[in-house]
Structure formats: structure tokens, C-alpha cells
Amino acid sequence: MDPNNLKKEYTNGEVTIVWQSGKCIHSGNCVRNNPDVFKPKEKPWITPEGSSTEKIIETVNKCPSGALTYYKNS
């Protein structure tokens, strides 16, 4: 597995955030818009249980690179 192109998933039970490291341009939009979920200095750096599903979706939609996407859990 290429450490420069990881794909990881993080879920709060309702929504799953998909992060692709190879696409990330480090714009910081996720951290600025939802610091309760996106904490780049921590491991894991994405903790979806820190916010509402609606706010997570809103934040992911502001990602300019497409590194962050989401899908709803059924």
C-alpha cells in the first residue's frame, strides 16, 4: 500500500467520511469549518462522532480537492 495515497473511512453510524490522502491539498477547509471532527494533530485525525451528520456533510462538500467524500449508511 502506498503511504502517499491512503484511503480511510471514518463513521458516526449515520454517515461515513472517506479520506484519500493522495488528493489532499491541505487547504484546511475541513479543520476551519469543523474543528470538532477534523483534528490534523491527532490520531485518528477524523472523529465523526464530534459533530452532527448535517455539519459533516456541509464540511465535506467544501473540500476543494475531492480528498474528502462521504456516503450515508443505510
Q: Where are the domains of the chain?
A: 7-72
pLDDT-derived band at 5, boundaries 50, 70, 90: confident
pLDDT at position 65: 97
| 6-30 pLDDT, tens digit each | 999 999 999 999 999 999 999 999 9
Fold of 7-72: Alpha-Beta Plaits (3.30.70)
Supply the mean pLDDT for the chain.
95
Q: In which region does residue 8 sit, left (phi positive, over 0), alpha (psi from -120 to 50) or beta (all else)?
A: beta
* Among 63, 8, 53, 9, residue whose Cα is nearest residue 31: 63
pLDDT top residue among 2 and 36: 36
Name the burial class of residue 30, with classes exposed (0-12), middle (13-18) and buried (19+) by CB atoms within 10 angstroms of its CB: buried
- The confidence score (pLDDT) of residue 2 equals 77
What lies within 8 Å, CB to CB, of 59 at 6+ separation is 29, 30, 33, 34, 37, 38, 51, 68
Task: Give the pLDDT band (50/70/90) at residue 49.
Answer: very high
